[in-house]
Structure 1
Amino acid sequence: MRPPACLQVKQFVAEVNGRFGFRFRVFITGDDRYYLFVCVQNSDITVPVRKADLRADVRAALRHGWGHR
């Protein structure tokens, strides 16, 4: 299922490690309040995440384009 148009990918930010060995590519969306996390192993898994719901350190890292390599 695709996210709503306002949550479509606009720009790549970083790649981060998730739980259980998953990796996610993080993208800026058309809505300034959200990032879109796309699973590297299965791109059908997309998770819109409110920036306000992220931990402060993660939010700051993504804002600067930092991820896990």
Structure 2
Amino acid sequence: MESNNNGYFKGKVDRSLEFNDKEHEKIYKLVEKLRNDIVMLQIKASLWGSIGGGLVLFGFVLIKLWLDKT
């Protein structure tokens, strides 16, 4: 295939590389599964971040109370 200098190509387009419906369905299911996995990871990261932040804050409060006591 050769170009005719305006962005288009002369000749026939090879349609054999297009997906059929089964391949589209497989890709769609895979993408949907990956989206669900990403959402679950975001929820877990948010939860663990909140727990970790709470523990750090609790630790600072305990240290402050201990320092005020001594």
TM-score, length-scaled by structure 1? 0.15
Larger radius of gyration: 2
Higher helix share: 2
TM-score, length-scaled by structure 2? 0.15
Higher strand share: 1
More contact order relative to length (CA 8 Å, sep ≥ 6): 1
